[in-house]
């Protein structure tokens, strides 16, 4: 009964905030609330064996987080987003910003895409070679799969010193930032040109996805794909092609469902590609990632969460790991949270986005952090809608990437640990540098086309 009550609260928060933030299909409230709805529904499939009737304390804490997130998004929308409107021209919806409208679509030369492809391949070869050297110190290596699997397992499941040398480590962060920049290029190209999109641009996007997968991380290629998809939908929204669910064509809905199912299947199959043992059925395995985190959170709250010795060390654990390694900061070296099970049924070791802030800052601190998250996400979204179509937008890349992390809040606190981290700062610098450079090239080309230079 308590779980059903939480579901009702969640749907109510989604409905009210969705209406009050402009009924936008890819707004932060959608990415935050919808995954939690599916999480609860998935938990109902295993209601008895998981004992999925949540404690009332869990319901109260999680509901409070839902309320403050909805309030933060509504607050920002009615301030910063007040100028982002939709108006109709000749019965065709067109997204407008008070600052700009009907901008000339950006056009990037083909040779630039080839340059991006070459840079990605060179960076990948350097990083992959360094990973191979690290893995070979601990495990036998006979092929690419051994490097991918070995490096991933060494980092996640052992205490081995699987750290890349300085230069490859820096280049790895640059490569990650570059793949997200390529996602922006692909989305812009597809949104502006449709079926006539540059094949070389799509090849650059494919290379980015392959490179991300070949580094041994399942999350990276998924985040690149998600970023690409969200930026593409955002641009369609700006162009007025997506204004409501009723405006979406049936073929796109069918394609979306097929793509989602394929994504889940790929995620399951990657388990074996990464060399992990798995005896669970596909449905139960996916449910451990989808529904189980909320049950794990409930169990932790029921047992009373022990406050962390150093505030922030769990929420921003990637940053603290760097501080521990470089400066000897006193903090727990968190490799992973404890695994849980009920009887013979495993539940994994993830606890939704709420566990780490609760452990670090208590209930009040958790509510404040979720409120700040809502403000930041909604602000980036509103800025993305105002972006000039004739230029590449850093805000759109950030929103695409952050949307993936926001959608994963039902699972873990990725959005805090991945962003408040030196590695992300390097990725951000890469994105900014490539965006500024590309905008300069495009602007220079447009000026030369409008005002040709004569040589006497």
What is the Cα 343 distance to its own chain's centre?
33
Please give the pLDDT value at position 88: 35
Phi and psi for 89 in degrees, rounded to 5? -125, 115
Domain boundaries, the chain: 1-83+109-449
Reference 128, options 110, 115, 138, 141; nearest CA is 141
Measured between alpha carbons, how far is residue 402 from residues 14, 211, 246 in Å? Answer: 19, 20, 26
Cα four-point dihedral sign 133, 137, 138, 141 = positive
**Calpha distance 449→51 (Å, rounded):** 67
3-state secondary structure the chain: CHHHHHHHHHHHHHHHHHHHCCCCCCCHHHHHHHHHHHHHHHHHHCCCCCCCCCCHHHHHHHHHHHHHHHHHHHHHHCCHHHHCEEEEECCEEEEECCCCCCCCCCCCCHHHHHHHHHHHHHHHHHHHHHHHHHHHCCCCCCCHHHHHHHHHHHHHHCCCCCCCCHHHHHHHHHHHHHHHHHHHHHHHHHHHHHHHCCHHHHHHHHHHHHHHHHCCCCHHHHHHHHHHHHHHHHHHHHCCCCCCHHHCCHHHHHHHHHHHHHHHHHHHHHHHHCCCCCCCCHHHHHHHHHCHHHHHHHHHHHCCCCCCCCCCCCCCHHHHHHHHHHHCCCCCCCCCCCCEEECCEEEECCCCCCHHHHHHHHHHHHHHHHHHHHHHHHHHHHHHHHCCCCCCCHHHHHHHHHHHHHHHHHCCCHHHHCCCCHHHHHHHHHHHHHHHHHHHHHHHHHHHHHCCCCCC
Specify the DSSP class assigned to residue 109.
-
CB atoms within 10 A of CB 172: 22
The tokens of 395 are what?
């805000």
**Residue 422: both structure tokens together:** 């030196």
What angle (nearest 5°) sits at the alpha carbon of residue 416, between those of residues 415 and 417? 100
Query: Of 283, 291, 347, which Cα lies nearest the Cα of 42?
Result: 291
Using alpha carbons, list the distances in angstroms from residue 356 to 87, 153, 171, 222, 436: 43, 23, 30, 23, 36
pLDDT of 93: 45
Nearest to 416 by CA among 359, 454, 456: 359
CA 143, chain centre distance (Å): 30
Please give the Cα distance from 187 to 433 (Å, whole number).
19
Could you list the pLDDT tens digit for every one of the 456 residues in the chain?
899 999 999 999 999 999 999 999 899 999 999 999 999 999 999 999 999 999 999 999 999 999 999 999 999 999 987 666 544 333 344 444 444 444 567 788 899 999 999 999 999 999 999 988 888 888 888 777 778 778 877 776 666 667 788 899 899 999 999 999 999 999 999 998 888 889 999 999 999 999 988 776 778 888 999 999 999 999 988 888 776 665 666 666 666 666 666 666 665 565 555 555 556 777 888 889 899 999 999 999 999 999 998 889 999 988 887 777 676 666 666 667 889 999 889 999 999 999 999 999 999 999 999 999 999 999 999 999 988 888 899 999 999 999 999 999 999 999 999 999 888 999 999 999 999 999 988 876 655 554 454 444
H or E segment at 118?
helix 110-136
- What was the pLDDT predicted at 63? 97
Q: Is the pTM of this model over 0.85?
A: yes
Residue 103 confidence (pLDDT):
57
């Amino acid at each position: 009964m308590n779980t059903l009550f939480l579901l009702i609260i969640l749907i109510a928060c989604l409905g009210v905030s969705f209406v009050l933030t402009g009924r936008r299909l890819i707004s932060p409230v959608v990415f935050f609330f919808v995954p939690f709805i599916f999480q609860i529904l998935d938990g109902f499939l295993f209601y008895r064996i998981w004992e999925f009737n949540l404690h009332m304390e869990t319901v109260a804490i999680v509901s409070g987080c839902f309320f403050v997130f909805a309030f933060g998004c509504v607050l920002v929308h009615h301030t910063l987003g007040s100028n982002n409107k939709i108006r109709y021209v000749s019965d065709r919806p067109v997204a407008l910003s008070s600052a700009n409208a009907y901008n000339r679509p950006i056009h990037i030369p083909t040779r630039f895409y080839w340059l991006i492809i070459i840079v990605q391949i060179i960076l990948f070869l350097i990083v992959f070679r360094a990973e191979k050297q690290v893995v070979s110190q601990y495990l036998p290596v006979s092929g690419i799969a051994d490097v991918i699997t070995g490096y991933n397992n060494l980092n996640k499941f052992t205490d081995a010193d699987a750290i890349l040398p300085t230069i490859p480590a820096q280049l790895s962060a640059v490569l990650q930032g570059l793949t997200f920049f390529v996602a922006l290029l692909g989305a812009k190209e597809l949104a502006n040109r449709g079926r006539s999109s540059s094949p070389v641009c799509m090849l650059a996007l494919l290379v980015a996805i392959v490179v991300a997968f070949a580094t041994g991380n399942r999350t990276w290629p998924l985040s690149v794909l998600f970023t690409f998809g969200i930026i593409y939908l955002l641009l369609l929204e700006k162009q007025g092609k997506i204004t409501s669910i009723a405006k979406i064509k049936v073929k796109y809905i069918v394609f979306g469902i097929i793509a989602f199912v394929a994504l889940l299947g790929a995620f399951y199959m990657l388990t074996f590609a990464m060399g992990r043992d798995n005896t669970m059925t596909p449905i139960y395995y996916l449910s451990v990632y989808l529904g189980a985190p909320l049950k794990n959170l409930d169990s932790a709250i029921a047992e009373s969460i022990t406050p962390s010795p150093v505030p922030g060390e769990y929420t921003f654990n990637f940053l603290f790991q760097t501080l521990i390694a470089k400066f000897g900061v006193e903090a727990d070296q968190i490799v992973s949270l404890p695994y849980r099970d009920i009887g013979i049924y495993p539940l994994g070791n993830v606890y939704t986005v709420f566990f780490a802030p609760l452990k670090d800052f208590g209930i009040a601190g958790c509510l404040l952090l979720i409120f700040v998250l809502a403000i930041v996400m909604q602000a980036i979204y509103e800025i993305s809608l105002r972006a000039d179509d004739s230029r590449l937008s850093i805000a759109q890349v950030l929103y695409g990437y952050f949307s993936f992390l926001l959608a994963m809040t039902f699972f873990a606190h990725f959005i805090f640990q991945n962003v408040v981290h030196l590695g992300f700062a390097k990725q951000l610098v890469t994105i900014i540098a490539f965006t500024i450079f590309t905008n300069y090239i495009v602007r220079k080309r447009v000026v030369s086309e409008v005002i040709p230079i004569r040589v006497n």
